[in-house]
Homo-oligomer: A and B are copies of this chain.
Amino acid sequence: MMTTDRHTDPEPWEIIESRYLYKEPWLTMRKDSVRLPNGKNIDDFYVWESPPWLNVIAVTQNDRIVMIRQYRHGIGKVSFELPAGVHDKPGETLLEAAQRELLEETGYGGGSWTKWMELSAYLASGVCKISEQQLDATEEITVHPVSVEELSALVDNGEILQALHAAPLIKYLCSLKS
Enumerate chain A interface residues (CB-CB to B < 8 A): 2-6, 8-13, 24-27, 29, 32, 34, 36-38, 40, 42, 44-48, 64, 69-71, 73-74, 76, 78, 80, 117-119, 137-138, 140-142, 144-147, 150, 153-155, 158, 161-164, 166-167, 170-171, 173-174, 177-178
Contacts and interface: CB of A to CB of B under 8 A. Distances in A.
12 contacts: A2-B150, A3-B145, A6-B69, A10-B69, A12-B73, A12-B76, A13-B73, A29-B29, A48-B74, A118-B158, A163-B164, A177-B178
Nearest to A8: B142
Given A46-B27, A166-B119, A64 B34 contact: no
A71 B10 contact: yes
A27 to B, nearest CB: 5
Contacts of A8: 69, 142
